[in-house]
Chain A
Amino acid sequence: MLSRLLLDPFALPFMRRALVEVLLLGALAGGVGVFVVLRRLAFLADALSHAVFPGVVIGYLVSGQSGIVPGALVFAVLAVVLFTVAAARARVGQDAALAILLTSFFGLGVVLVSRQRSYTADLTTFLFGRVLTVDSTQITQTAVVAVVVGLVLYALRKELLLRTFDQQTARAMGYRVVLLDLVLNLMIALVVVAAVKAVGTILSIALLVVPAAAARLLSDRLLVVTGLAVLFGVLGGWLGLAASYEASINHGVRLASGATIVLALVVFYLLALGVGPLVRRRWRRGARLPDEVADVDGLPADRPARQAHVGGGVR
Chain B
Amino acid sequence: MKQQVVGSQVDGGADVDAGTAPVDADDGLSPVVVFDRASVAYGRVPVLEDVDGVVGAGHMVALIGPNGGGKSTLIKAILGLVPVVRGRIQVLGRTPVRARQDVAYVPQADTLDPDFPVSVGQVVLMGRYRQIGWVRRPRRPDRLIAAEALAAVGLAHRGGDRFGTLSGGQRQRVLLARAMTQRPRLLLLDEPFNGVDTLSQQALLSAIDGLRAAGTTVVISTHDLSLAHLACDDVCLVNRHQFGFGPTAATLTPERLRAAYGSAALELRGEGVIVAQP
- Which residues of A are at the interface with B, using a C-beta cutoff of 8 A? 38, 87-89, 91, 93-94, 155-156, 158-159, 161-162, 164-169, 171-174, 176-178, 216, 219-222, 225, 282-288, 290-298, 301, 310, 312
Contacts and interface: CB of A to CB of B under 8 A. Distances in A.
Interface stretch (B100-108, B219-227, B243-251, B265-273): B100-108
Contacts of B1: 91, 93-94
Nearest to B133: A158
Nearest to B158: A285
A166 B107 contact: yes
Given A283-B165, A298-B119, A166 B126 contact: yes
A172 B132 CA distance: 17
Given A162-B129, A165-B112, A312-B140, A282 B122 contact: no
B135 interface: yes
B118 A165 contact: yes
B105 A168 contact: yes
A171 B143 contact: no
B20 interface: no
A91 B3 CA distance: 11
Contact of A174 (B101, B158, B162): B101
A298 B122 contact: yes
Interface stretch (B4-12, B60-68, B206-214): B4-12
Task: List 8 A-B pairs, minimum CB-CB distance, nearest first.
Answer: A293-B121, A288-B160, A172-B105, A294-B121, A88-B8, A293-B159, A287-B160, A174-B100
Contacts of B162: 220, 283
Contact of B123 (A165, A168, A285, A292): A165
27 contacts: A38-B116, A38-B117, A89-B5, A155-B135, A158-B126, A158-B137, A161-B122, A165-B116, A171-B3, A172-B81, A172-B103, A172-B105, A173-B105, A173-B130, A173-B182, A176-B11, A285-B157, A285-B160, A286-B160, A288-B121, A290-B147, A293-B120, A293-B121, A293-B124, A293-B160, A294-B125, A298-B122
A310 B140 contact: yes
Contacts of B197: none
Of the listed residues B122, B139, B157, the one surrounded by the most CB atoms of chain A closer than 10 A to its CB is: B122
A145 B93 CA distance: 46
Given A94-B1, A288-B159, A298-B119, A169 B165 contact: no
Given A172-B81, A284-B160, 14 more contacts: A38-B116, A89-B8, A164-B116, A165-B118, A165-B123, A166-B126, A169-B178, A173-B100, A174-B130, A283-B165, A285-B158, A291-B147, A293-B160, A297-B137
